[in-house]
Chains A and B, each alone.
Chain A
């Protein structure tokens, strides 16, 4: 493999862009293909399938033995709200192997003392997300209860095809949210993807228990995703 090929793979991974590497095992030639690009016709279905399934493997094309490797971005959780649930979720996410970022413009909540080492951004979501875009390997959990903070990232998450979009709040709160998002022009089908009330229904009561329910729901969305649709990486 050329060093430039290796650099292209690592650059794609750093940019959270899915990449497929095709290696011809008979002569050692390897090429990198990035998600969203166009692919050589003879390899097109192989590369598209690999990007969808996330599965690497051997394939034979035109009498040549190929190894197809897939590099999907690692799954990541973006929590909106530096709240009590997020404190527990940050600890659980690390154990389960997710990267995690917390965004909350309220500087009283977003303090290092409350969150330790987890990435914490004391910014409005609409200010910070354009420079740190969401993607389909990201789960977004909106946890502030405050439409001024939560609504924008929920819309952005649905538009980016995030594999999970959950929002805290009662059924009544969510009914009002559905109405607001509908008025803002969000299609009903997209709004229907929001998991609300958030978290698997395990009767969670305390903030830590709700964090367990939310993480379990995120894992369910990642592992039981439609193989032809949303994808997430593995570690």
Chain B
């Protein structure tokens, strides 16, 4: 067992979970337009059971990112997800603040 990570620090959590043998995906905000709740570089870490720490928005799109992350944990193929205003996008969720974000989701391999 490794030491307890700081749960407010997604990268520490990701390393600890991965070292403990859990399958882990890391989501990162890579672009924002307009009003976006979390700045570029923000992280969300997800494990294969859907446990998560961190954030890529104010809670608006985390559910969709987690669902995608489960597939990426299986396939190992990274993916860029884009979220816009709720009713202007093909995604079933969106940002109520009117901004748009792109989120890169990758598996931690090791």
Contact = CB atoms under 8 A, between A and B. Distances in A.
A10 B31 contact: no
B18 interface: yes
A67 interface: yes
Given A10-B11, A56-B41, A69-B41, A2 B109 contact: yes
A67 B78 CA distance: 13
A6 B30 contact: no
Contact of B110 (A4, A9, A67, A70): A4
A25 B109 contact: no
A67 B11 contact: no
A31 interface: no
- The number of chain B residues touching the other chain, given as a range, is 20 to 34
B71 interface: no
Contact of B11 (A4, A13, A25, A70): A13
Nearest to A9: B11
Nearest to A6: B15
Contacts of B78: 25, 28
Nearest to B78: A28
Interface string B1-30: 000000000011011001100000010101
Nearest to A3: B110
Given A7-B15, A25-B30, 11 more contacts: A1-B108, A2-B108, A3-B18, A3-B110, A6-B108, A10-B15, A28-B77, A55-B40, A56-B41, A57-B31, A70-B41
Interface of A: 1-4, 6-7, 9-10, 13, 23, 25, 28, 30, 55-58, 67, 69-70
Q: Give the 3 A-B residue pairs with the shortest CB-CB distance, closest first.
A: A3-B110, A56-B41, A28-B78
24 contacts: A1-B106, A1-B107, A2-B108, A2-B109, A3-B108, A3-B110, A6-B11, A6-B14, A6-B26, A6-B108, A6-B110, A10-B11, A10-B12, A10-B15, A23-B104, A23-B106, A28-B77, A28-B106, A30-B106, A57-B40, A58-B30, A67-B28, A67-B104, A70-B41
Interface of B: 11-12, 14-15, 18-19, 26, 28, 30-31, 39-41, 77-78, 80, 104, 106-110
